[in-house]
Chain A
Amino acid sequence: MIEIKGVSKRYDRHLYVLKGVNATLKERVTTIIGRNGAGKTTLVRILSTQLFPTSGTAEIEGLDILKDTKKVREVISSIPQESQLIGILSPLEQMQLYLMARGFSSSQAKRESEYALDELEMYEFRNAPSDTLSGGMKRKVFVAMALAAKSPVIFLDEPTTGLDPLSRIEVWSAIKRLSSKVILTTHYMEEAQELSNEVLVIDQGNIITHGTVKSLLSTFDGKMRAEKLEGREFDIKIANVSIKYIDVNEVDEFVRKGYDIKRINLDDIFLSKGVMLES
C-alpha cells in the first residue's frame, strides 16, 4: 500500500507543480494519468526517493520516504521516464549493473537479466552496443530491468511510450504476471484500462479523480459518446470535434444526425473533467 500525505513540490522559485496531493493506493496496479506537465513524473520521482518533496511525505509499504529512505530503496525499483541507455554498453551489461547495484550477485544478475530480456523478445540483442538498438528496444531494456529486479513495489514512468503495439502487449502481459505492486504513468487510456483497477488523474498538480476504473466509469452508466466534426450539439468541443454524451435510447437519433457513436472509456473521464489528453 502507498499512502501519499500532502505532497507538494515547487522547483526552485517556480510555481507549485504538486499542490498537496493526498491519496491511498491500494490496488496491485495503479495508473497515473494526466496531461503533459500535470506533475506525474514529479510525483513518481518523489515517491521513489529521487526527489525531495517541498512539503508532505508518503509511506510505501509502511516505510516513510523521508525517514526510512534506505529501507524504501530496498523495496522499490523505479524506471525514470527520461533515462537512456549508456550507448557503448550492451543491454545485458547495463541490466547486470543495475541488478548488482540492487545487491544481486553477478551470476544471478546475468541470469535474471537474460530471462527478462527474453520475456520481452530482446534476448538476441542482449550483447549489442545499446547505440545500435531502436528507440523502442532501448525502452524495453529499462522495462526489463524493472521486471528482473522483482522488487515488491515498481514505478514505471511511461514504460510503453514509443513501443509498437505488439511490444506493448508483451510489456502488459509481463506486468500482469508480476506479483509486485506497480505504479505506472501512461498517456494511453487503453493501457490504464487493460492493466489497472485503480486510476489516479492528475491535473496541474492536483488529483482530480481517483478510483477504480469501474467506479470512475459508473458516472457514465447508460451513456454513450457521440462525436461529429463540427457537430451542432455538444457537451465538449475539442478543436473542431463536437462530443456529446447521450442516453442509449438517443443513439438512433444521433446516428441519423451523422454522429459517430462510441462506447464510454477512460478517455471520457478526462474529457468530462474538461481535460484533454494529448496522445
Chain B
Amino acid sequence: MNPKFVLYFAWYYGFYVIKRGPSYLLASLSLPLSLLFMVTIFTHGTLIAFAIAGGPIAIVAANSINGAADAAFFRIQIRIQDLYVATSLTSQDYMFALSMSYLVFSLPGIVLYAILGAYFKVFTLSSALPIIGLLILLTLAISNLSFIIAGLLKHIRNVWGITAILSIIMTVLPPTFYPFYYLPRGVIYILSVSPVTPAAVLFQGILFPKAVGMYSSVQLPMFIILIVETLVLIFLGRRFIRWRE
C-alpha cells in the first residue's frame, strides 16, 4: 500500500477536475437535481425526502461509472498507466487512487445535498457516519466496475457510449429516488445486480426507519449483497485493468 500516493493523487486529480473543468461537475449534478424536481412535482412533495436521499447515491454512482472514461483515457490514450506500471506502485494503489479521486470529485455534490438534506431534515448527524461508509463502499464497487470496462475496451470512443447507458440504468432504475418498498421483493433482488440498489435500500433504511418499518427484513441481505459485490468487483477490477499487458 502507498497511502501517500493515493491521497495526493485523489486530491490533485479530483480537485483539479472540479477547478479546471467545472462544466463536468454541473453535468454530474444535472440528473439528480432534475429528478428531485420531477419526483417532488409528481408526488406533490410527499417523496421529496426520498429524492433528496437519492442524490448523493446517484452522484457517487454516476461519477464512479464515468471514471471508466478516465481509466480508459489513462490506459489507452495518454498512457499514464504505463508510466506507473514500471514503479513500485501496485495496481491496487493505482485503482484505489483513481476511485478516491472520483469521490473527491463527488464532494461538492454531496455537500450540496447535505445542505438540502439538513434543511428538509432528511439527514441527521447520527446518520452521517453510516452514510459516508455506504458512499465509500459504493464508490469502490462502481469504480471497479468502471476499471473492468476500461480494461476491456480496445478503442477509447466506446467508453462514452457505454458509460452513458450504464449511468442512466444504474442510477434511475434502482430505487434511488423512490421508496424501495414500492417494488415487489423479487424485483429488488433482480435490480440488485447493480450495487446501487443495495446501497439505496440501506440508505433508506438508515434515513427513514419509520417508513421502511415492516420492509426492513431486506436490509441484512442487501448489506451482504453490497459487500460481496464490492469485493468481487475489486477482485475483477484487478484482473481486467491490464497492469502488465
Contact = CB atoms under 8 A, between A and B. Distances in A.
Interface of A: 45, 48-52, 69-70, 73-74, 76-80, 82-86, 88-89, 93, 96-98, 100-103, 105-106, 129, 142, 145, 155
Contacts of A69: 244
A89 B12 contact: yes
B12 to A, nearest CB: 5
Given A49-B86, A93-B12, A98-B83, 13 more contacts: A77-B86, A82-B82, A86-B78, A88-B19, A88-B20, A89-B12, A98-B84, A100-B8, A101-B5, A102-B89, A105-B4, A129-B20, A155-B86
Contact of B13 (A73, A86, A106, A142): A86
Contacts of A77: 86-87
Contacts, number: 86
B194 to A, nearest CB: 30
B82 A101 contact: no
Contact of B9 (A76, A88, A97): A97
Interface string B80-118: 101111111100010000000000000000000000000
Nearest to B18: A88
A66 B19 CA distance: 42
Give the size category of B's interface with A.
20 to 34
Contacts of A155: 86
A50 B85 contact: yes
Contact of B245 (A52, A88, A142): A52
B87 A83 contact: no
A74 B86 contact: no
B156 interface: no
Contacts of B2: 100-101, 103
B133 interface: no
A50 B8 contact: no
B83 to A, nearest CB: 5
B196 to A, nearest CB: 28
B21 interface: yes
A93 B5 CA distance: 12
A83 B78 CA distance: 5
